Amino acid sequence: MKPTLGQDSRRSVALFAAPALLLFVLFVALPMLLAAGATLTNHRLMSPEPTRYIGLDNYRRLLALDLVVIEPLRDARGALVRDEEGAGPRYPTWRQVRQQHPQLEGYRAAFHLDAGSSRIVLAASDPLFYRSLINTFLFAALVLPLQCGAALGLALLVNQKIRGRIFFRTVYFAPVVTSMVVASIVWAFMLNTDRGMLNELLRGLLHDPNAGPDWLGDSHYALPAIALMSAWQGAGFQMLVFLAGLQSISPELYEAATLMGANAWQRFVHVTLPGLRNTIIFVLVSTTLLAFGLFTQVDVMTSGGPLDSTSTVVYHAVRSGFKEQDVGYGSTITLVFFLIVLALSVLQRMLVAKGASK
């Protein structure tokens, strides 16, 4: 047999490609397909009862939404009843509302908005899913500018020709190789209200012995605190990617810009940013997807609390699919989430590409 430089023989191609491809099919493609099927059933992880086909019930349970307008309570003369503090009008309880609106059977209030004296309530059959979805978006919106901005800043710094830059590059990268569990535990200590160093620092700076919030115990601060910690842990990775992008920009472009009288800021806007276009797309997309996977920090630091303010979609999926063993429902959350992630990354790619072509 003569060796040829044309097509390689099928057998040898199969020998090389098959092991990894089989593993991908078995552990990525097959689970996703099974999950798509499981969303139509009440399959449970360990259950003596046979799995039943239930149609789109899981999707209905997950996504069902309704809006109700609730009028405030009035006394016999028609005047508004004030709540205990006398601040706002009092509204009927959710139980009373449900009796008036039979279609709300199985729904609970997720959010409400006060318009005039009446209150508009968004009711869902799984309010925790919507809460988790909004938390996940909120987290991404917090962590994206923080982490990508920090990464670009660090990359610009360690790209300077200065002694010690390799050392600092290593220092900024060190948190990336630290596991998220360890990072979460150490930060849980540092974020402690009374003794944590973050609040000690704030008290020192503000000369106020009572300064500093209850970071992980206050529903307004818990998610931002987790975002801060996550950006600290992850920025070093994006820094490396930006650094490579910076080093691929031809130095001649900078020389030309300098000759034309451009100052440092103009060089950054007109040479650096356009040169980093592909890198920026990659970093934005990958950081967004990482942010959407938020689970470990929440599990270690807050368990989804306080008041569900740090519950995320993945946390909710694990709670349903694993802790409550409801694989059908957990798979439904996962699949809907996967579609959202996919749509978002396509959208983001399109937006960034459009912005860059202007």
Q: Which of residues 14-53 bind another protein (CB under 8 A)?
A: 15-17, 19-21, 23-24, 27-28, 30-32, 34-35, 38, 43, 45-46
Residue 157 vs 262, nearer CB to another protein: 157
Min dist. Cβ of residue 226 to another protein (A): 14
**Which segment (72-80, 93-101, 123-131, 189-197) binds another protein by CB under 8 A?**
189-197
3-state SS class at 156:
helix
In angstroms and rounded to an integer, the radius of gyration of the C-alpha atoms of the chain is 27
Residue 12 vs 210, nearer CB to another protein: 12
Q: What are phi and psi of 348, to 5 degrees?
A: -65, -40
Residues 105-164 that bind another protein (CB under 8 A): 154, 157-158, 160, 162, 164
**Which segment (82-90, 109-117, 118-126, 314-322) binds another protein by CB under 8 A?**
314-322
CA distance 242 to 236: 10
**Which segment (64-72, 137-145, 177-185, 214-222) binds another protein by CB under 8 A?**
177-185
| Residue 210 structure tokens | 């009572």
Q: What angle do CA 79, 81, 87 make, to 5 degrees?
A: 120
By CB under 8 A, is residue 195 in contact with another protein? Answer: yes
By CB under 8 A, is residue 337 in contact with another protein? Answer: yes
By CB under 8 A, is residue 187 in contact with another protein? Answer: yes
Min dist. Cβ of residue 256 to another protein (A): 20
Min dist. Cβ of residue 331 to another protein (A): 6
DSSP element (H, E) containing 314: helix 313-318
Residue 73 vs 262, nearer CB to another protein: 262
Residue 66 vs 200, nearer CB to another protein: 200
Q: How are beta strands 118-124 and 65-70 bridged, if at all?
A: antiparallel
The total of other beta-carbon atoms located within 10 Å of residue 338's CB is 14
Q: What sign for the dihedral angle of Cα 245, 247, 250, 253?
A: positive
Min dist. Cβ of residue 215 to another protein (A): 14
Cα–Cα separations (whole angstroms), residue 46 to 61, 62, 120, 269, 300: 21, 22, 41, 58, 26
Q: Closest by alpha carbon to 315, among 231, 187, 223, 224?
A: 223
Q: Give residue 152's identity as a one-letter amino acid code.
A: L
Min dist. Cβ of residue 343 to another protein (A): 13
Q: Give residue 139's identity as a one-letter amino acid code.
A: F
| Residue that has been written with the tokens 């503000």 in this structure | 206
3-state SS class at 79:
coil
CB 70 within 8 A of CB 123: no
- Selected from 122, 300, 344, 356, the binder of another protein by CB under 8 A is 300
Residue 81 vs 185, nearer CB to another protein: 185
The distance of Cα 288 from the centroid of its chain, to the nearest Å, equals: 7
Residue 72 vs 234, nearer CB to another protein: 234
By CB under 8 A, is residue 171 in contact with another protein? Answer: yes
CB 324 within 8 A of CB 317: no
The distance of Cα 320 from the centroid of its chain, to the nearest Å, equals: 18
Min dist. Cβ of residue 2 to another protein (A): 9
Residue 76 vs 166, nearer CB to another protein: 166
Min dist. Cβ of residue 32 to another protein (A): 6
3-state SS class at 146:
helix
Residue 43 vs 98, nearer CB to another protein: 43
Residue 125 vs 192, nearer CB to another protein: 192
Residues 238-297 that bind another protein (CB under 8 A): 240-241, 243-245, 248, 278-279, 282-283, 285-286, 289-290, 292-293, 295-296
